[in-house]
């Protein structure tokens, strides 16, 4: 059954999850399986949620890379990833080397389904996190309509510990966008959406926005299956460009001549 959306899109940078089905993981024991989910500190002004998908790569929402007030890109040097952040401490702290938004993402575009479908970003850490208790998550294709998913997130009113919501369902799939029964509000940007068994969850989406469907609140997220390949390519292209630029800056002016 097709779900029709209305009242689309509020970027999520404040209180979240109003349906009461949250489990707050205040103790490290509770949150141990989710240590690779962390808080992204954004220029000391805001935060999002992100999750490791490789020792040096964090997956999040593209709109988290922009200042919500000015629309300017937040410099990578002003972003930090706090893996497993809980009650003032993180399992690992890392600064950021680069941050790449999906090539099709436009922060100034209308807040609609097209923007949600590309609201994905990759963040490369300055140093990889190699810790046996912090294991990156695999990513996978979108689950079928009717499948159950779970979300791990931070939010403004529960910013000191991650919370798990495991009672969400996939309501619909629309143009590379997932419509979820999770009820979200400000604060859950970039939160990973998990599918699969509890002992081997895979990330299938990241939370981008909220909307209404048939008068009921829903959450929206981009499908990852087609989004990660261009993101990884953009990351590699950026790395090559920076290497070439660095080489040009180190040019000594020496000339080669044929003997």
Sign of CA dihedral 151, 63, 178, 228: negative
Indicate if the pLDDT at residue 258 is higher than 90: no
Do strands 192-195 and 177-180 pair parallel, antiparallel, or not at all (unpaired)?
unpaired
234 vs 11: which has the higher pLDDT: 234
204 vs 33: which has the higher pLDDT: 204
pLDDT of residue 18: 36
What is the pLDDT confidence band of residue 5, given thresholds at 50, 70 and 90? low
pTM over 0.75? The answer is: yes
Indicate if the pLDDT at residue 171 is higher than 80: yes
Indicate if the pLDDT at residue 110 is higher than 50: yes
Do strands 46-54 and 37-42 pair parallel, antiparallel, or not at all (unpaired)?
antiparallel
* CA gap 116, 221 in Å, rounded: 6
Q: Which of 72-86, 133-147, 200-214, 231-245 has the lowest mean pLDDT?
A: 231-245
Token representation of residue 108: 């100034």
What residues have CB less than 8 Å from 252, skipping those under 6 apart? none
pLDDT of residue 105: 95
pLDDT of residue 113: 85
pLDDT tens, residue by residue, 56-86: 999 999 999 999 899 999 999 999 999 999 9
Token representation of residue 198: 């509890």
What is the pLDDT confidence band of residue 17, given thresholds at 50, 70 and 90? very low
Indicate if the pLDDT at residue 206 is higher than 80: yes
Question: Nearest 10 degrees: CA dihedral of 173, 179, 181, 182?
Answer: 140
For range 151-171, the mean pLDDT? 85
- Cα 115-204-86 angle, rounded to 5 deg: 95
What is the pLDDT confidence band of residue 15, given thresholds at 50, 70 and 90? very low
Tell me what the pLDDT averaged over the chain comes to: 84
What residues have CB less than 8 Å from 45, skipping those under 6 apart? 67
**Domain annotation for the chain: domains and CATH numbers:** 5-239 (2.40.10.10)
* Backbone dihedral angles phi then psi of residue 69, each to the nearest 5 degrees: -85, -40
pLDDT of residue 249: 52
């Amino acid at each position: 059954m097709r779900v029709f959306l209305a009242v689309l899109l509020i970027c999520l940078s404040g209180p979240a999850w109003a349906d009461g089905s949250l489990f707050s993981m205040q103790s490290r024991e509770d949150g141990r399986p989710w240590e690779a989910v962390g808080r992204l500190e954004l220029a000391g002004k805001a935060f999002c949620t992100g999750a490791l998908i490789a020792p040096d790569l964090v997956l999040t929402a593209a709109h988290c890379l922009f200042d919500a007030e000015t629309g300017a890109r937040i410099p990578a040097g002003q972003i930090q990833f706090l893996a497993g952040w809980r009650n003032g401490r993180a399992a690992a702290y890392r600064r950021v080397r680069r941050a790449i938004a999906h090539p099709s993402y436009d922060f100034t575009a209308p807040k609609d389904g097209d923007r949600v479908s590309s609201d994905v970003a990759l963040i490369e850490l300055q140093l990889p996190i190699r810790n046996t208790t912090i294991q990156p998550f695999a990513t996978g294709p979108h689950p079928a309509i009717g499948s159950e998913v779970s979300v791990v997130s931070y939010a403004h009113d529960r910013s000191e510990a991650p919370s798990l919501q495991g009672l969400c369902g996939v309501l619909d799939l629309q143009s590379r966008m997932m419509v979820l029964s999770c009820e979200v509000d400000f604060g859950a940007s970039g939160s990973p959406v998990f599918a699969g068994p509890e002992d081997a969850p895979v990330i299938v989406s990241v939370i981008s926005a909220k909307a209404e469907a048939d008068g009921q609140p829903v959450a929206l997220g981009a499908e990852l299956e087609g989004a990660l390949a261009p993101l990884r390519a953009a990351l590699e292209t950026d790395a090559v460009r920076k290497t070439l630029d660095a080489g040009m800056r180190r040019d000594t002016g020496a000339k080669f001549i044929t003997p």
